[in-house]
Structure 1
Amino acid sequence: MAHRYLLRGTVAAAVAALALAGCSSSDDSEDSSSSETTTATADCGDNVDQATPGPVSTNPLKIGTLLPATGSLAFLGPPEFAGVTLAVNDINAAGGVLDKPVEEVNGDSGDTTTDTASATVDRELAAGTQVIIGAASSSVSLKVIDKIASAGAVMFSPANTSDEFTCYKDKGMYFRTAPADKLQAQALAQVIAEGGVQRVSILAMNDPYGTGLADNTVADLEAAGIPSDQIQKIIYDPNAQSFNAEVDQVKNFNPDGIAVIGFEESAKIITRMNEVQIGPKDKLVFGVDGNMGNALGESVGPGILEGMKGTTPLTALGPDFEARLKQVDPALIDFNYAQESYDATVISALAAEIAKSTNGMAIASEINGVTKDGTKCTTYEQCLALVKAGTDIDYDGVTGELAFVTAGEPSVGSYGVLEFDANNKTITPVADYKVVSDN
């Protein structure tokens, strides 16, 4: 069974905590955990776009998906699709939105090597979709965000983590339930430091997700006291046929620990690392949400991943919610971002109820308020009753507290740390690392 690690925190004592952790060794026992406190900010000044309500519409709410059925993040697709479908089922079971059933329009996002996302967006906008859940990839979202915003539809990603979105000029139409990479970088740097690593190589894919997370991780490792000349950062082309040259650079650097920030191509990278004896059985190897899943374990040789650890934005899934997801899709093997997809869908429906309109701009104008400053409620049915009674709500869903900031993203993020066992399998941890942003 994979080990579970619990990290706790609220994002000011990070530098001191990391510096101390860098001098200690990790505890690989089943019940190991750590508890640290940290803070992060993203200052956009007065330049954060806010949506203004559009004309009132009482048409049925159509929620589209722009999620990876194909491409380099296809392993994230099944749990995300399942999360949206389960949410739509729960919304409709409670009476729908404005007393009408919500319609789900599914679509593939593909990846950046295709025009799949653009074609899906065109089709869903033509169908009158007011809310689009997706994309998973930050790079894919950046390809279509302007088109969606200009059409007056909500774009709500369950998995985008690039810092680029925080201050993006999105007309106030873009939101996400996943916390920004600035927060995950702190968690990743902490896990690396807790391993006693003093010389680090970072292999990161060349896209906003990979480069942003790598840059933030380097900064946090340096803040922890690791000298810059002891940190190697290599940016690679995720579509390359071979990663031998990059892996050879890492071997020559001879690090204590190696972080791989990528998607499905991580399988090729780690396989090559294993061949030259710098893989997880030889070195401390760390992953991130883009590759820490059972799909990676199925893409490499037996036992290659044993001991590899990695961070992912994750809250306690709970057996009941997992079982309900499996009723939607019995074939699920990973659950990454299922909760975030579920909550993005529920928040959008509640915003439409509060706005008394299914117009996309009207929905967008109410989304932030759904997540904070009101009476706590945790299900669509419970929240809907409060909204109809005229009560201001604060939805804390399956991802827990969200408390969106003005930029339309969580001020609170929870992270879990996964570890692969001898069978290349992970288990979903009970995540208890809370990161709170000041912005």
Structure 2
Amino acid sequence: MEEKAPPSGEMPKPAPKGRGLWIGIAVVVIVVAVLLVAVFAGWLAPPTQPPPGPTEDEILKIGTVFPLTGGLAAFGPDGERAARLAVEEINEAGGVLGQPVELYTADSKTDAAAGRDAATALIQTSRVDAIVGAYGSGISASVLQVAIANEVVQVSPASTSPIFSNHSFDQDWFFRTAPSDALQGVVAAHYAYENRSFRQVAVIGINNPYGNGLATVFETTFESLGGTITKKLIIPEAQTDYTGTLTDLWDGPEPAPEAVYFVAYPDTGVQLMSDWWTNRAGWPTEWVFSEGLRDQTLYVDELVTRGIDVSTFEGSSPVSPSGAQYDAFVSRYMAEYPGDTPTLFASNAYDAVYMIALAAEKAGVAAGPEIKAQMLGISRPPGTTVVPGPAGWSAALNVTGDVDYEGASGSLNWDEFGDPTSSYEIWAMDQSNQIFQKEFFSEATVLGWL
């Protein structure tokens, strides 16, 4: 029987249901398999992202405000070099919080306004967590106002005015690695009264917190011992002539002084002493200077060049650093900067950097408030002794408990005000017009006078 074709235009019948279902399943399985292979092979994986970098609070940034120019330029450049050496050593031995420390420098120009502007730029532009500086108490005071407002720790290697030993003044943001003039003034007064037997002394101080503070401490202590201050004069800095000031001391109604205690920096000191030398026949006296004038090149040598006889000059100062840590610092410093012997306060600047770094490491974060909270604790017993230098810092990173920093400039056991104590010396001139230590007063002796 002949089979009939379907009518024209009629759709063919679909495949049986069972056959279509299996075709669909096969397609799905193939697609899933391809996708799985692609995922495991990494074809469709998102691009690999680099690990996140350190946050700002994981990188310690330190700024320096040093007198690279101006009246204290004898000290600033070596302080900056010492700070840089400390940062290099710390970074060589592992850094702080696992990251290299960053150092930013600025010039105070030995001027309070310039120092304030330098600190502002370091904080606002470089975003530093701590400032080492300044030299000169008046400059440090102007820097401190910026530091307080921005919650940045400040450590001065050379500002010695007693005004900083006051919680209401510094709000606990200020520390120093040089001792307060509350000690130096006492030592100088005792030396003048007891060792030199002076009974009538005049005082001259430059018109800034350093000059005012130290002159006042000397005056108060000398009078308490039974001496007489014939006159105290506070003078402007870096003038071209001080003849009028000196005339005031000798030509007024007061008795002529047996000695003058002079608190100044080299620029003022050289001019005043030159004016005195010109008229020395009418103004006979002995001179005792503060540590601000303890500079061989810019002060003593300059006076000698001008024909002034310096043989009888003396001065007071915190004792010159000594010992194993200081010797090691000098050795590393001179290897880094051949031909340059570190000046006064260079080791204090070096220690300031190490103490900030140690406080940040202990805090676990590079931020002002947290660093501030650790500062006193890392400076004094009890705790594992930590010393500066690459080996010392490497060891410090492995200490889990309390630490006690013993620095190149001394033990630096801070009191509640962030002030270290110190031994003191009287410096004088040898036969070659070189500064040497004439008298030594131990820390215990000094503290016994307070």
TM bin, normalised by shorter chain, reads: 0.7 to 0.9
1:237 & 1:134 partners in 2: Cα distance? 23
1:312 & 1:105 partners in 2: Cα distance? 30
Q: Is the 8 A contact 2:425 2:441 kept in 1?
A: yes
1:246-304, CA deviations, whole angstroms, 9 ceiling, x for partnerless residues? 11223344222111111121111111121222799x63211111111112023322453
1:389 & 1:170 partners in 2: Cα distance? 31
Partner of 2:279: 276
* Shift in CA distance, 102/242, structure 1 to aligned 2, threshold 3 Å: same
Partner of 2:121: 123
Partner of 2:29: none
Amino acid at match of 2:207: N
Task: Report the alpha carbon displacement of residue 209 of structure 1 after superposing the two structures with TM.
Answer: 0.9
2:417 & 2:262 partners in 1: Cα distance? 29
Partner of 2:28: none
1:377 & 1:394 partners in 2: Cα distance? 6
Q: Is the 8 A contact 2:177 2:352 kept in 1?
A: yes
Partner of 2:43: none
1:96 & 1:61 partners in 2: Cα distance? 9
* Shift in CA distance, 319/403, structure 1 to aligned 2, threshold 3 Å: closer
Task: Report the alpha carbon displacement of residue 314 of structure 1 after superposing the two structures with TM.
Answer: 3.3
Q: Secondary structure at the match of 2:435?
A: coil
1:44-87, CA deviations, whole angstroms, 9 ceiling, x for partnerless residues? xxxxxxxxxxxx95432121110101122111213322321222
Q: What TM-score comes out, normalization by structure 1 length?
A: 0.79
In the alignment, which of 291, 295, 301 is matched to residue 298 of structure 1?
301
2:425 & 2:332 partners in 1: Cα distance? 21
Q: Is the 8 A contact 1:177 1:409 kept in 2?
A: yes
Amino acid at match of 2:192: I
Partner of 2:321: 316
Task: Report the alpha carbon displacement of residue 424 of structure 1 after superposing the two structures with TM.
Answer: 4.0
Partner of 1:349: 357
Pair 1:401 & 2:411 matched: yes
1:328-385, CA deviations, whole angstroms, 9 ceiling, x for partnerless residues? 4445466211121111111100001100111121111101100112222323543653
2:307 & 2:338 partners in 1: Cα distance? 25
Q: Is the 8 A contact 1:130 1:359 kept in 2?
A: yes
1:236 & 1:394 partners in 2: Cα distance? 41
* Shift in CA distance, 401/436, structure 1 to aligned 2, threshold 3 Å: farther
1:165 & 1:331 partners in 2: Cα distance? 35
2:332 & 2:436 partners in 1: Cα distance? 17
Partner of 1:78: 77
Q: Secondary structure at the match of 2:106?
A: coil
Partner of 1:254: 256
Amino acid at match of 1:259: Y
Q: Secondary structure at the match of 1:119?
A: helix
* Shift in CA distance, 279/156, structure 1 to aligned 2, threshold 3 Å: farther
Higher helix share: 2
* Shift in CA distance, 360/217, structure 1 to aligned 2, threshold 3 Å: same
1:82 & 1:143 partners in 2: Cα distance? 23
Q: Is the 8 A contact 1:316 1:430 kept in 2?
A: no
1:285-327, CA deviations, whole angstroms, 9 ceiling, x for partnerless residues? 1111111111202332245322211112234345543333333
Q: Secondary structure at the match of 1:73?
A: coil
Q: What TM-score comes out, normalization by structure 2 length?
A: 0.77
In the alignment, which of 408, 421, 426 is matched to residue 417 of structure 1?
426
* Shift in CA distance, 171/223, structure 1 to aligned 2, threshold 3 Å: closer
Partner of 2:21: none
Runs of 4+ with >6 A deviation? 428-431
1:134 & 1:357 partners in 2: Cα distance? 22
* Shift in CA distance, 386/140, structure 1 to aligned 2, threshold 3 Å: closer
Q: Is the 8 A contact 2:61 2:129 kept in 1?
A: yes
RMSD, aligned CA? 2.6
Partner of 1:388: 398
Amino acid at match of 1:309: E
1:278 & 1:188 partners in 2: Cα distance? 26
1:279 & 1:394 partners in 2: Cα distance? 54
Q: Secondary structure at the match of 1:316?
A: coil
Equivalent residues in 2 for 1:57-76 (5 A)?
Answer: 58-76=57-75
Amino acid at match of 1:322: V
1:405 & 1:288 partners in 2: Cα distance? 23
Q: Secondary structure at the match of 2:343?
A: coil
Amino acid at match of 1:392: D
More moved, 267-276 vs 349-358 = 267-276
Partner of 2:135: 136
Q: Gapped runs of 5+ residues in structure 2?
A: 1-54
The number of residues matched between the two structures is: 379
Partner of 2:3: none
Pair 1:225 & 2:226 matched: yes
2:86 & 2:449 partners in 1: Cα distance? 30
Partner of 2:189: 189
2:313 & 2:113 partners in 1: Cα distance? 34
Q: Secondary structure at the match of 1:274?
A: helix
More moved, 386-395 vs 262-271 = 386-395
Amino acid at match of 2:226: G
Task: Report the alpha carbon displacement of residue 169 of structure 1 after superposing the two structures with TM.
Answer: 3.5
Partner of 2:7: none
Taking CA–CA contacts closer than 8 Å with sequence separation of 6 or more, which of the two structures ends up with the larger relative contact order?
1
Q: Secondary structure at the match of 1:107?
A: strand
| Greater gyration radius | 2
* Shift in CA distance, 362/438, structure 1 to aligned 2, threshold 3 Å: farther
Equivalent residues in 2 for 1:209-224 (5 A)?
Answer: 209-224=210-225
Q: Gapped runs of 5+ residues in structure 1?
A: 1-55
Partner of 1:10: none
1:257 & 1:438 partners in 2: Cα distance? 22
